[in-house]
Structure 1
Amino acid sequence: SLVIINSHNIKTLFKILTYKIISKTKMYTYSIYLSILFLDGYLSTQNLLRGPYKPPPISEVCLSSIYCQGDFLRTIQTSKIFEASKTFVDMKMKKKKETILNDFRTLNNTFHGTIPLLELKKFVKTNFQQHTINKWLPSDFKNHPKIIDKVQDYTYKEFLSGINQLWKKLAKKISEKVKTDKDLYSLIYVPNGFFVNMEFQNEFNYWDAYWIIRGALICGMETTVKGILKNFIYIIQKYGYVLMGNRIYYKGRSQPPLLTQMMATYYEYTKDEKFITDNIALLDAEMMYWIKYRSINVKSVGNTYIMTHYMSDACNPRPEMYSIDVHITKSLPAVRYQNEYLCRVKAASESGWGFSSKHFHNRKHYNDFRKTLLKTNPLNFAYVELNSIMQSNSNILSNLYLIVNDQANSNFYKQLAHRYQIGINALLWNEDEKMWLDFDTTIAESRNYFYASNLAPLWTGSYDDKLSEFYGDSAVEYLIRNNIINKDLTPRYICVPTSFYNTGLDWDYFNCWPQLQSMIIFGLHSTRSKKAQKVAFNLASSWVNTNFVGFNQTGTLFKKYSAIKLGSDGEEKSRQHYPTGYGVTIGVLLEIFHEWGNKLKSKQ
């Protein structure tokens, strides 16, 4: 292997050996992740040795013949005993796996491979039971956190007080029994309590935890947040990366890697240097997982850039959405095409956007659900938000390594952040639109469609800070051209829609998601553009208002809101059918009140 380096920090950044030398001598404990070719300022994957830290082994995909794949799971899930596929794979086994599978084979033989539905229901009832985790009250929960006093508007003060009480309903902790009898569960044990998004849930969600953690820190729950971060560290130690949730059937899938940003936020509040020192190697391991397993070389105009995309390590039906995946693949003529589709749909679920026209290779068939999802192919795209997060993570890790006095690794990540920035500038920034756009790697072109995530680089700071005002002003003009805001900088919608494609999918028009509102609002606010800062406040005020109206009507917060109907999630349900939540929405509201609590005024 030939590695060409053009860098100012060769001695401190790299120890270069070829694969051939490594395989023969085995004299170093360095771990091979990836190689990086620095040539005229561009980066492509070759051979890079990082060490001496040895990362945890990357876990294989889930092979469980109960919860993940095989004839037994296919029989249960395609029979549609339960309305939702996730119901079954979240159940606990009453007996050992071997006993259940042997009994199933006997039953299957008795009925010559076609078990009647009633018999199958009896079998499931005999061998499985519903499992919920324990409610939990964080030791540092406060009935009246300081943030409430910051809010000047009396109506909003009462609103925020009500929101704070929701934490108690969303706090959960896993019993030690799950650890000792782990083979009986799909649930993965973690040692500390955490917050779920909705009261009925029994697992964490990876990228949503970023906003939950920020909200919890604003409410003074630093000990609880440290425990949540330790849970993610525990998962990395076990699997080599953070799964999208703590279920074994999520192995092979992650979500936007925000743990490094969570740790930085925690450090900002606590200045806990020891915690950073003890765990920075595992943050490094997660970054290297994404670089090794999710990076691609993208060629454009004669140059090669390193970018990151979503993927999956397995190509079988998603256990939690099994019946839907099987239903859709029936229209495909060969196993090869079925497997390709299943890889693509799993990659889309890794994005956190499940599902959206953002993942479509073309935009036909909006009214046909099956054909719509068949067009899902995120493997072909370099997304703005993911590559911005990777660039930002590199910057943050560079700073964290300085805190722990590791100059060499700090330099490495500083250089890596620079290389990601080169790719963002060259591929994602569209000069005609004056905006970042997702990039189609198959045809080397921008995907000129409005998505709320297009503004993510403002949120991550993935641009030249000297041009902060320019990028802020450009974003405002982009929002005006796309009719998101009026020329007087007031919102045209109740909140920023995810897209303008009315596909009927969750992550499209007319839905507004709190994660994306946070990215846009705080991205605009962070620039030095006065217009962008004004738009940020206006969008924040409108978002808080629709959350407030919905809360008054239902007593809870929603996972998403309608851009066209005030206080609604777009789903007409009676009050009692709204579950208590929503963790991410709580976090984003707290972010907004933390920034503008003394300025926000309710309509009342």
Structure 2
Amino acid sequence: MSPDGALPRDTTERVAHVPVADTLSPADRYQELFVAVQRGRVFEDSKSFVDCVPRQSPKRILETYRAEHGQPGFELAAFVHAHFHEERTPQNHYVSDPGQSLKQHIDGLWPVLTREPREHPANGSLLPLPQAYVVPGGRFRELYYWDSYFTMLGLAESGRHDLLSTMADNFAWLIEHYGHVPNGNRSYYLSRSQPPVFALMIGLFERHRLCQALRYLPHLRREHDWWMDGADALRPGEAHRHCVRLEDGSLLNRYWDDRDTPREESFREDEATAAQSGRPATEVYRDLRAAAASGWDFSARWCDRTDTLSSIRTTAILPVDLNSLLYKLESKIARLSALGGRSDVAADFAARARERQAAMDRWLWDAQRQHYVDYDWRHGRASTRLTAATTTPLFVGAAAPAQAAAVAATVRDRLLVQGGVATSEDESGQQWDRPNGWAPLQWLAIHGFARNGEEGLAREIASRWLHTVGSLYQRECKLVEKYVLVHEPDGAHGGGGGEYPLQDGFGWTNGVSRRLLHEDHAHPAHRARAGTRD
């Protein structure tokens, strides 16, 4: 798309060969067969079936199931394996050669994690993309939205500008064709997005001189339209999709999913959670889906109680990190519009950004606790929980100097631990809480503090995180999705909790760690070697 709303000629030519996607999700496509497979536990992981590739027409498979399933001797598992190909997660993940450095390991992983459009199977849930892309790894065999920004940080430092460019085309293409970037390029992810980081990606492209950022202005505006759908008609106290109008007339956003059924990739887990809640199942499903859209799936920050996921109320929460990223999006649109000669649009979006910042200061800043918080708009109260999301306003430039200094003091006192910045203060058993630490949260904290004059704290977090990653790499020859930030005597360990086993790979850990190694040439993690000990 161009600033006047038309697709750029070169983009149109590049994506002309992309096949038409089947946007029906597996639940919609296979109906009672889908339910039978998931409830019947044909696969150990609920995600396995929704990622299966049909061996013939999905319509024909469903017709055959309806004709055969009531017959004597019918075996569901045998039927499924006869009609679908399972894409298995490799049992033996990529392991570095002994003696290879951490940086060499990461650089060598990019080809392993790269997927090509020609590899897209027909009639499955995978949404075709026009260009090559990088996946996280493990059971995550598709492109993920917010993961990709953090992965791109490392691609840039590895000199893989080719992949940065193709991934830029992919995200622009998704916005052009679906109006937003889905959670991932699967049909069952189309009803939601993830943290809106396309504006951050464009900043990365600019810094590395890959393209003119102005060409992506229409995509930014279309993404903003999707997030703000229905906002103009809201009165105080009303909500629609992602938007909530508060009592003072200010507007903030929440996470949302357009469907209120169990997540197809976690069908059994969601049915079990809803059954424990005592609430209408559709409400619970929507809140579980909205938490998946947040990227923090799952955390006590979305729940009334830390000991049960069934108390989840994500759609009642106005998250500080989401609104920070939308502030960044509005600010980026304002800047690019000014560069493109659209002073009227620039003024409009600059005003939107200022209004959002003022709303964040009123509703998401806790002056007594001295940190940013989430706000429960249904109960009319700020959350009392401290999470690493409190650093996001600093990262996007929405914090005043006094606020940034206060957040730094709070994080140093309450969230800084041996291995980096703790995800939260809660030990809920969910993976986005203690004791786990995550690469994207380290990055937001490090560069949020560095941007606001807290360079010492930024360096300390980066150093601790690299020690964590390097320690496990040296012992186990790999990088993983998340880490326990309090080390055992034998070194760092991979994190636990959540709905699935710890995943190897791993895209955003590779990306953030590769960039931090570039920023600190003297860190001992440079000397870490696979399969050795200090």
TM-score of the superposed pair, with normalisation by structure 2 = 0.85
Q: Does 1:538 align with 2:483?
A: no
1: CA distance between counterparts of 2:525 and 2:159? 24
1: CA distance between counterparts of 2:79 and 2:523? 60
Q: Does 1:203 align with 2:164?
A: no
From 476, 479, 488, give the equivalent of 2:411: 479
Q: Is the 8 A contact 1:61 1:252 kept in 2?
A: no
Q: Does 1:556 align with 2:481?
A: no
Q: Is the 8 A contact 2:481 2:504 kept in 1?
A: no
1:287-339 Cα shifts (integer Å, max 9, x gaps): 1101114111122xxx2210010011011111100111122333466xx8011
Aligned residue in 2 for 1:377: 313
1:247-303 Cα shifts (integer Å, max 9, x gaps): 001111110010121012101211622xx343321221011101114111122xxx2
Aligned residue in 2 for 1:24: none
Aligned residue in 1 for 2:322: 386
Q: 1:52 to 1:169 in 2, by over 3 A?
A: closer
2: CA distance between counterparts of 1:174 and 1:351? 27
Q: 1:228 to 1:341 in 2, by over 3 A?
A: same
Q: Is the 8 A contact 1:199 1:580 kept in 2?
A: yes
Q: Is the 8 A contact 1:62 1:68 kept in 2?
A: no
2: CA distance between counterparts of 1:200 and 1:347? 21
**SS across alignment from 2:228:** helix
Q: Does 1:311 align with 2:256?
A: yes
2: CA distance between counterparts of 1:421 and 1:69? 45
Q: 1:568 to 1:546 in 2, by over 3 A?
A: same
Q: Does 1:419 align with 2:355?
A: yes
Quote how far apart the aligned CAs of 1:533 are: 1.3
Aligned residue in 1 for 2:177: 238
**SS across alignment from 2:475:** helix
Unaligned runs of 5+ in 2: 8-20, 90-98, 230-240, 528-533
The residue identity in structure 2 corresponding to 1:503 is S
Q: Does 1:587 align with 2:502?
A: no
Q: Is the 8 A contact 1:557 1:580 kept in 2?
A: yes
Quote how far apart the aligned CAs of 1:195 are: 1.0
Aligned residue in 2 for 1:517: 442
Aligned residue in 1 for 2:162: 223
Q: Is the 8 A contact 1:86 1:321 kept in 2?
A: yes
Seq. identity, %: 24
Aligned residue in 2 for 1:298: 246
**SS across alignment from 2:246:** strand
Quote how far apart the aligned CAs of 1:177 are: 5.9
The residue identity in structure 1 corresponding to 2:457 is V
Aligned residue in 1 for 2:102: 159
From 274, 277, 280, give the equivalent of 2:217: 280
Unaligned runs of 5+ in 1: 1-50, 134-154, 367-371, 486-491
Aligned residue in 1 for 2:14: none
Quote how far apart the aligned CAs of 1:599 are: 6.1
Quote how far apart the aligned CAs of 1:158 are: 3.2
Quote how far apart the aligned CAs of 1:399 are: 1.5
Q: 1:68 to 1:495 in 2, by over 3 A?
A: farther
Aligned residue in 2 for 1:170: 113
Aligned residue in 2 for 1:36: none
Match runs of 1:97-496 below 5 Å: 97-110=58-71, 119-131=75-87, 158-175=101-118, 178=121, 181=122, 184-198=123-137, 201-270=140-209, 272-273=211-212, 276-292=213-229, 293-299=241-247, 303-331=248-276, 337-360=280-303, 362-363=304-305, 366=307, 372-464=308-400, 467=401, 470-482=402-414, 484-485=415-416, 492-496=417-421
Aligned residue in 2 for 1:7: none
Q: Is the 8 A contact 1:67 1:249 kept in 2?
A: no
The residue identity in structure 1 corresponding to 2:403 is Y
Quote how far apart the aligned CAs of 1:580 are: 4.5
Q: 1:54 to 1:418 in 2, by over 3 A?
A: farther
Q: Is the 8 A contact 1:235 1:242 kept in 2?
A: yes
1: CA distance between counterparts of 2:84 and 2:168? 32
Q: Is the 8 A contact 1:359 1:378 kept in 2?
A: yes
TM-score of the superposed pair, with normalisation by structure 1 = 0.76
Q: Does 1:88 align with 2:49?
A: yes
Taking only aligned residues, the RMSD between alpha carbons, in angstroms, comes to: 2.7
Q: Is the 8 A contact 2:142 2:184 kept in 1?
A: yes
1:492-527 Cα shifts (integer Å, max 9, x gaps): 432222112111111011000111111111111111
**SS across alignment from 1:567:** strand
1: CA distance between counterparts of 2:30 and 2:287? 18
Q: 1:495 to 1:77 in 2, by over 3 A?
A: same
Quote how far apart the aligned CAs of 1:85 are: 0.9
Q: Is the 8 A contact 1:61 1:313 kept in 2?
A: no
Q: 1:426 to 1:332 in 2, by over 3 A?
A: closer
**SS across alignment from 2:467:** helix
Q: 1:578 to 1:312 in 2, by over 3 A?
A: closer
Q: Is the 8 A contact 2:146 2:197 kept in 1?
A: yes
1:502-555 Cα shifts (integer Å, max 9, x gaps): 111110110001111111111111112xxx211111111111011001011111
2: CA distance between counterparts of 1:444 and 1:581? 41
From 449, 469, 474, give the equivalent of 1:547: 469
Q: Is the 8 A contact 2:179 2:222 kept in 1?
A: yes
Quote how far apart the aligned CAs of 1:87 are: 0.5
2: CA distance between counterparts of 1:386 and 1:53? 26
Aligned residue in 2 for 1:18: none
Quote how far apart the aligned CAs of 1:189 are: 0.4
Quote how far apart the aligned CAs of 1:571 are: 4.9
Q: 1:158 to 1:602 in 2, by over 3 A?
A: closer
Q: Is the 8 A contact 1:61 1:314 kept in 2?
A: no
